[in-house]
Amino acid sequence: MANYPKGGAHAAGVKPKAEPSGAFHSTQPSRHNRFFPSPLRNQIPDPPTFFSRTTDIPTMSRCIIFHSYSGITRGVARKVRAACGGDFIEVKPKKNYNALTVYPLGGYRAMKGRKDPINVEKIDVAGYDMLVIGTPVWAWKPTPVINAAIAALKDCKGKTAVIYATCGSDAGETIEIMRKALEKKGVKVVGDMVFDKKTVRQGKKINELIVMVNAAAIA
């Protein structure tokens, strides 16, 4: 459904490339400061089968939108999609961050609530019933990329959303900032969750997010 340029993220109706399940590898640099979580190289466990998508869950079209610098937020998004279904949209900055820019520039822009130029102009969600939106936490706030993604949402008024954030230990204002930005666009946030460096490894916490997403289909 999203209006993506060539080479952009997955759009509705476009079958994504097959990716290996299980572990994903972090590209985040080895030096860290208090603003950013350390990279988690352990795989996120698969949820138990009793939380997999079943015919008991009402059919609902979902759009999973996320930004991921190290791969952690992407890993959570994959688990949600595997269990709940939905289109998978990874939003990326036009100019990627690297080891030299992510802390001083990315953290500063996050603190100021800035929006990065991203690989899409608009994300048209008219054909979806609900949204799942995920972000890493930079300087206790959403990344400039996810700020831009929320601003780029089109025809989102009246939709429901579940939001999540991944961090080292403290998400700070991240969830509240995302909630307010979405509510300004007419989106009702019906659930939120924060994963730190310990809980992101736990299948239990992933299951809670999956249950939350499926419950939004029933509400």
Burial of 208 (0-12, 13-18, 19+ CB in 10 A): middle
pLDDT number for residue 80: 97
Q: What is the DSSP string of 91-115?
A: --BSS---TTTIIIIIHHHHHTT--
CB 69 within 8 A of CB 146: no
Residue 147 tokens read as: 């700020």
pLDDT number for residue 53: 38
Expressed in angstroms, the distance from the first to the final Cα of the chain is 24
* Residue 95 forms part of a structural domain: yes
pLDDT number for residue 216: 87
φ, ψ dihedrals at 141, nearest 5° = -140, 165
- Our measurement of the distance from residue 8's CA atom to the centroid of its chain's CA atoms, rounded to an integer in Å, reads 16
Q: Which of 80, 59, 74 is nearest to 27 (CA)?
A: 74
* Residue 2 forms part of a structural domain: no
pLDDT number for residue 32: 37
pLDDT number for residue 4: 47
Q: Which residues of the chain have pLDDT under 50?
A: 1-2, 4-58
Query: How many independent structural domains does the chain possess?
Result: 1
pLDDT digits (tens, 9 = 90+) for 48-58: 333 333 334 44
* Residue 151 forms part of a structural domain: yes
Measured between alpha carbons, how far is 153 from 6 in angstroms, rounded to an integer? 19
* Residue 11 forms part of a structural domain: no
- Specify which residues 154 forms β-bridges with: 124
* Residue 15 forms part of a structural domain: no
Domain that holds residue 169: 58-218
Q: In sequence order, what are the residues at sequence separation of 6 or more whose Cβ sits closer than 8 angstroms to the Cβ of residue 69? A: 27, 28, 97, 102, 106, 136, 143
- Specify which residues 195 forms β-bridges with: 166
* Residue 93 forms part of a structural domain: yes
* Residue 50 forms part of a structural domain: no
* Residue 10 forms part of a structural domain: no
pTM of the model: 0.75
Measured between alpha carbons, how far is 148 from 133 in angstroms, rounded to an integer? 12
- For the domain that residue 80 is a member of, what is the CATH number? 3.40.50.360
DSSP 65: E
